[in-house]
A = this chain, B = another copy of it.
Amino acid sequence: MDANQLWGRRLKQARLAAGLSQKSLGITAGIDPFVASTRINRYELGVHKPDLLTASNLAKTLGVPLAFFYAEEDDMADLIYRYSKADTEAKAQVVQLLAASPGLAE
């Protein structure tokens, strides 16, 4: 599976979970109604890739973090999604657990 196709698969998964059509997703995300269906379809099939602003708007519409779309491993995608939905306490526990792991220096 190529990178664009994986990206599209994650978009489609989030869209279906939200119960939206390709067209309505695009429109809600601010894409011109006359081309919304066309563009979302191409993103999902991995034919084209949207710019960051469009991707961010799609993520907001679908209630997932932008980074979710770019996860290369399924467990990473799951982590990103679940963390974003977790309550404050659970997030704090995760942060504490991972505090032992090294952060990015500099």
Contact residues of A with B, CB < 8 Å?
3-4, 7, 13-14, 16-17, 49, 51-53, 56, 64-73, 75-76, 78-87, 90-91, 93-95, 97-106
Contacts and interface: CB of A to CB of B under 8 A. Distances in A.
Among all A-B residue pairs, the 3 with the closest Cβ atoms: A3-B52, A82-B98, A67-B67
A81 B103 contact: yes
A20 B72 CA distance: 24
14 contacts: A3-B56, A13-B104, A17-B104, A17-B105, A52-B70, A56-B72, A65-B72, A67-B70, A76-B83, A82-B98, A82-B102, A86-B101, A90-B101, A94-B94
Contact of A106 (B13, B67, B69): B13
Number of identical protomers: 2
Given A104-B14, A105-B17, A69 B66 contact: no
Contacts of A100: 86, 90
Contacts of A68: 67
